[in-house]
């Protein structure tokens, strides 16, 4: 098994993507997790955060994944 050199940046992107994916799944399972964990209602009950949060998390997951793939391929080519 050969060693695949990647920079620390790759691992940061992987962690961000994984955290975003976890929070996205949590949001899809329970829309009120922010209220339950932090005890605040950031949108005053309108549901705007419950709509915007999954979209923002999906964007974070997509961007982090794309950057990690690019970084991984950079390491292979080196």
Q: Is residue 34 part of a domain?
A: yes
- The CA-based angle 24-4-62, given to 5 degrees, is 20
Q: Is residue 65 part of a domain?
A: yes
CA 57 to chain centre: 5
The reported pTM is 0.75
Which tens digits make up the pLDDT trace of 21-42?
998 898 888 888 888 888 888 8
Q: Is residue 47 part of a domain?
A: yes
Q: Is residue 8 part of a domain?
A: no
- What is the structure's pLDDT at 78? 66
- What is the structure's pLDDT at 3? 66
Look up the domain containing 22 and give its range. Answer: 14-77
Residues of the chain with pLDDT under 70: 1-4, 78
Domain count across the chain: 1
Q: For residue 44, what are the CA distances in angstroms to 3, 28, 35, 38, 53?
A: 51, 19, 10, 14, 15
């Amino acid at each position: 098994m050969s060693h695949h050199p990647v920079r620390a940046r790759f691992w940061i992107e992987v962690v961000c993507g994984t955290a975003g994916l976890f929070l996205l799944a949590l949001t899809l399972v329970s829309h009120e997790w922010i209220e339950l964990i932090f005890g605040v209602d950031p949108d005053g009950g309108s549901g705007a955060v419950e709509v915007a949060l999954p979209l923002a998390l999906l964007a974070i997951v997509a961007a982090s994944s794309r950057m990690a793939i690019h970084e991984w391929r950079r390491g292979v080519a080196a």
